[in-house]
């Protein structure tokens, strides 16, 4: 009898187990060894605990990486209010839009390999996009590039416009199904002239990656990004992680209540549905901090990563590159600090000047936790700025 080949999921699991033998932990350093005091660490812990004491969140995790080494990685509070289960320091969480830098970094590696380019027009791979018009006009819109898709300037409906019902798509199917349907609708504005934050550009860019590689995007990201980083707990497969993910909550006038969520259908969302641990998020951010190197190997060139930190045309006041918000820039336009947040209550920040990475994962909507998270981040950054 001929042996049947293992499915990709099994092969990738084996690859992850192999990677674990030489990449089971991130580089670590002592708090004091980085010139930091116990008083400062206590202030950061107190600032995090305030979110729990004042019922912004039931719990969460915090990771701080200074000069390439983890100096603090802790869980706070509980992962589930009913059971009282502690929130593990390395709990996998729905990272929501923190997925976006993962997707863009995947495409950056494909660009390094010569498979595609951020400047490629989508119509090169999906001809229907060559015929798009802008609503209310009869002229063909200018070509949409992958960079426009990844910077929310392609002209697609924003998340807010989708929520308002200004465009309706069938989310039950594959990325191919959704993107092909998207190509039958007019754009909301001329590409590269306005900024509309949303998922559709990321779905389109991920579909292009599927076309050039010939595999589903989940597989493309696993083979291209996760395998290169040694990531072991990042997946779009929600059911496989259900027993490990902290319970999601929303804040109400009656306290924290379990969040039921709004199912988007069967299609994956390369802009918002990844599940990952703080350690795996750190691996992705460290790839940027290390100028494109991971596990002692060159994964992507620094020049391609630098494209991700350049604010794109049409963004208006929102300084957004490719997969990152740009919080601070040098005079030459290079980035000093980049970040991405997630609506689930997640954030990942790289401060190149301070050589600091900050990762906060909670499972309460960020819009409901800003009054806690803002002071927390201020406490963290003031510590390292000193």
φ, ψ dihedrals at 139, nearest 5°: -95, 150
Helix, strand or coil, per DSSP, at residue 64: strand
Cα 93 to Cα 342: distance, rounded to the nearest angstrom = 11
Residue 15 CA to residue 155 CA, distance in Å, equals: 39
DSSP 167: S
Cα torsion 94, 122, 320, 286 to 10°: value is 60
Report residue 332's pLDDT band, with 50, 70 and 90 as the boundaries.
confident
Reported as a single tens digit per residue, the pLDDT across 262-278 is 667 899 999 999 999 99
> Which two three-digit tokens encode residue 213?
């590689």
Encode pLDDT of 278-320 as tens digits. 999 999 999 999 999 999 999 999 999 999 999 887 666 668 9
Environment class of residue 376 by beta-carbon count within 10 Å: exposed (0-12), middle (13-18) or buried (19+)? buried
The pair of three-digit structure tokens given for residue 220, joined into one six-digit string: 């493309």
Q: How many Å apart are CA 329 and CA 171, to the nearest integer?
A: 37
pLDDT in tens, 155-165: 999 999 999 99
pLDDT band at 54 (very low <50, low <70, confident <90, very high): very high
Q: In the predicted model, what is the mean pLDDT of the chain?
A: 92
* pLDDT class of 21 with cuts at 50, 70, 90: very low
pLDDT digits (tens, 9 = 90+) for 56-74: 999 999 999 999 999 999 9
241-245 long-range Cβ contacts below 8 angstroms, 24+ apart: 241/92, 241/275, 244/91, 244/92, 245/91, 245/92, 245/93, 245/94, 245/275, 245/363
Cα angle for residues 328, 330, 334 (degrees, 5° grid)? 90
Report residue 3's pLDDT band, with 50, 70 and 90 as the boundaries: very low
- Residue 80 to residues 246, 247, 335, 364, Cα–Cα distance (Å): 6, 5, 38, 12
Output the six-digit token pair for 374. Answer: 């803002």
DSSP string across 309-374: TSPPTT-TT--B-SSSEEEEE-TTS-EEEEEEEETTTEEEEEETTTTEEEEEE-SS-GGGTHHHHH
For 97, the 3-state DSSP assignment is: helix
Q: Which element (helix H / strand E) includes 149?
A: helix 146-150
Q: Which domains, from first to last, does the chain contain?
A: 25-385 (3.40.710.10)
């Amino acid at each position: 009898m001929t042996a049947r080949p293992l499915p990709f999921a099994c092969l990738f699991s084996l690859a992850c187990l192999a990677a674990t033998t030489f990449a089971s932990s991130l580089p670590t350093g002592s708090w004091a060894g980085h010139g930091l005091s116990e008083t400062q660490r206590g202030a950061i812990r107190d600032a995090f605990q305030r979110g729990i004491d004042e019922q912004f969140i039931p719990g969460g995790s915090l990771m701080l990486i200074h000069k390439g080494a983890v100096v603090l990685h802790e869980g706070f509070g509980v992962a589930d209010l009913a059971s009282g289960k502690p929130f593990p320091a390395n709990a996998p969480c729905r990272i929501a839009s923190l997925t976006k830098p993962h997707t863009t970094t995947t495409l950056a590696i494909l660009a390094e390999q010569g498979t595609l380019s951020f400047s490629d027009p989508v119509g090169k791979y999906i001809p229907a996009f060559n015929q798009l018009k802008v609503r209310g006009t009869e002229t063909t819109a200018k070509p949409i590039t992958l960079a426009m898709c990844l910077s929310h300037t392609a002209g697609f409906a924003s998340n807010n416009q989708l929520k308002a019902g200004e465009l309706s798509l069938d989310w039950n199917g594959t990325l191919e199904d959704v993107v092909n349907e998207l190509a039958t609708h007019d754009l909301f504005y001329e590409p590269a002239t306005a900024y509309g934050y949303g998922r559709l550009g990321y779905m389109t860019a991920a579909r292009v990656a599927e076309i050039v590689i010939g595999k589903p995007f989940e597989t493309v990201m696993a083979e291209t990004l996760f395998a290169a980083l040694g990531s072991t707990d990042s997946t779009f497969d929600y059911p496989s992680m259900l027993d490990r993910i902290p319970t999601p909550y929303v804040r109400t006038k009656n306290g924290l209540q379990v969040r039921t969520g709004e199912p988007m259908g069967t299609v994956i969302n390369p802009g918002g549905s990844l599940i990952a641990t703080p350690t795996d998020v750190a691996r992705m951010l460290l790839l940027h901090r290390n100028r494109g190197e991971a596990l002692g190997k060159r994964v992507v060139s620094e020049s391609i990563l630098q494209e991700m930190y350049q604010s794109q045309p049409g963004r208006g006041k929102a300084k957004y590159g490719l997969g990152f918000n740009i919080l601070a820039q040098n005079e030459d336009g290079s980035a000093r600090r980049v970040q991405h947040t997630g609506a689930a209550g997640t954030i990942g920040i790289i401060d190149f000047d301070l050589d600091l990475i900050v990762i906060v994962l909670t499972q309460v909507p960020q819009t409901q936790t800003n009054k806690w998270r803002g002071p927390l981040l201020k406490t963290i950054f003031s510590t390292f700025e000193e």
